[in-house]
Amino acid sequence: MSGPLLRARGLTKMFGARTGCVDVDLDLHESEVLAIVGESGSGKSTLLGLLSTQLEKTAGSLTYRRKDGVAVDLSSLSEMERRLLLRTEWGFVQQDARMGLRMNVSAGGNVGERLMAVGWRNYAAIRTESQDWLARVEIAADRMDDMPGAFSGGMRQRLQIARNMVTRPRLVFMDEPTGGLDVSVQARLLDLLRSLVAEGGLSVILVTHDLAVARLLSHRIAVMRQGRIVELGLADQVLEDPQHSYTQLLVSSVLQA
């Protein structure tokens, strides 16, 4: 273990004259869950896009320490190298599961094709492994051959998580993974995400506007406002002893159930 898994320095994204995110410094360590919170338009999704190399940065640096221990400058990777990394070491869970799934492929196929993409060839082994992961996310074996379109929103989200986790990624990016789900479905999903993280070895960068979700899942919270991180600290500390006026506003605006 040496140094952070992901390191951003001065990360900046401009959309023409409009600011996406400015001068972000961030370290993510192994087995760490970092939540990025803020209102819509605060730049949190832009930052997630930059960190996951889905968006091209305007300025700054971004390095990632690969499984082989080598720290690579992510902007120096060729498109092929970048795609290999995405496939073998990373995962991305979208808010809308339909964006992260292949809707014309069965549930089992959605999970299995990720294994094939990292070199699995034995059909029986792929099917067994896929089935194991579907069971872990509580999708019954008899739904394996169904299309994701036939699933409820919560089930689709769990399927997307299985699709991402089956290749045992080291780093998973999540964009509002519980957004738009009923609270009962959300609780089940939170429980699943927590158990995946608790097994260790998995690092997560999670974007959410839900402070309760951030508190339950993350070790640290970064608060964004107008494209900048205005506060970064231990999750429960940021929420219970917020230092920045904007964080105090956010925390005091939450409805108590």
Partner 1 sequence: MLHTLPRDESIRLEDVSKTFVLHLQDGARLPAVTRLSFSVRPGECVALHGSSGAGKSSVLKMIFGNYLTDEGLILVRSGDRVVNVATAEPRDVLALRRQTIGYVSQFLRVIPRVPCLDIVAAAAREDGCEETQALARARDLLARLNLPERLWGLPPATFSGGEQQRVNIARGFAAYRPIMLLDEPTASLDAANSEAVITLIGERKAAGAAIVGVFHDPAIRNRVADRLIAVSRPERSEAA
Positions that interact with partner 1 (CB under 8 A): 29, 32, 187-188, 190-191, 194, 198, 216, 219-220, 233-234, 236-237, 240-241, 243-245, 248-249, 252
Considering the complex, state which of residue 87 and residue 215 has its C-beta at the smaller distance from partner 1.
215
b (16+ CB within 10 A) / e for 117-152: eeebeeeeebbebbbebbebbebeeebbebbbeebe
Q: What is the C-alpha separation between 152 and 44, in angstroms, rounded?
A: 27
Contact indicator for 38, 44 with CB cutoff of 8 Å: yes
Annotate 67-115 with three-state secondary structure: CCCCEEEHHHCCHHHHHHHHHHCEEEECCCHHHHCCCCCCHHHHHHHHH
Closer Cβ to partner 1, 61 or 248, answer by number: 248
Nearer to partner 1, 35 or 115 (CB): 35
Q: What backbone torsions phi and psi does residue 17 show, to the nearest 5 degrees?
A: -90, -10
Q: Count of CB atoms within 10 A of residue 2's CB?
A: 6
Amino acid 80 reads M
